Amino acid sequence: MIELAPALARTAVALSPFHWALLGVALLVAVIFDLRERRTPNWLAVATLAAGLGSRGLAAGPWGAALGVAGAAALLALALYPFARRWLGGGRVKLLCATGGWLGPALALELLVLTALAAGPLALVYWLRSPARVRREVAENLKATALAQSAPEVSERRAASLHLPLALAIAAGAGALLLLRSGLLLAR
């Protein structure tokens, strides 16, 4: 993983194993909702953000909580365009921001990259399991994207059962981040 700029790296507040476990429980609940209902409830995203900001505040005082707000805001800023194009649902954006509230700006960008890497194989699996008409639509959208160098908006007519459970990718990204940061995944 590319090292963060030294100034940004200094803003990191280390999460204890207990705090990582709390975040993991929140993300697990989000994954269960997303797999069952293809949505992430607002109450869960708000509770996750509040718990993250509170944990950061207890760990590092007001500065820690402020960095949590910065992490959530950074991910919100980066997720607004995909949300506006309907590539991401509002609940998934809120869950991503809530997770950024736990991590702060130093780790939020790494979370976004790891989440995107986890979403790729997930999308491939769901694409392969989709009905033929959906696979054709996705192939046409990819072709149009390549030719126009701009991805189209997602249609609102697609059934919720065909939406990717992106909470799973967010949880996988956070898990990979934990393993990377703890040195369990890659030796430093």
User: Which of 57 and 162 is assigned the larger pLDDT?
Assistant: 57
Look at 10-24, 37-51, 63-77, 108-122 and tell me which has the smallest mean pLDDT: 10-24
Whether residue 38 is predicted with pLDDT greater than 60 in this model: the reply is: yes
CB-neighbour burial class of residue 163 (10 A; exposed 0-12, middle 13-18, buried 19+): middle
Contact predicate 85/154, CB 8 Å: yes
pLDDT of 4 reads 47
Whether residue 161 is predicted with pLDDT greater than 70 in this model: the reply is: no
Task: State in Å, rounded, how far the first CA of the chain is from the last one.
Answer: 10
Q: Which residues contact 179 (CB under 8 A, 6 or more apart)?
A: 185
User: Which of 136 and 28 is assigned the larger pLDDT?
Assistant: 28
Q: What is the mean pLDDT of residues 27-37?
A: 95
User: Which of 109 and 183 is assigned the larger pLDDT?
Assistant: 109
Q: CA Rg, the chain, in Å? A: 17
Q: Which residues contact 31 (CB under 8 A, 6 or more apart)?
A: 165, 167, 168, 171
User: Which of 147 and 119 is assigned the larger pLDDT?
Assistant: 119
Query: How much is the pTM?
Result: 0.82
d(CA 64, CA 61): 5
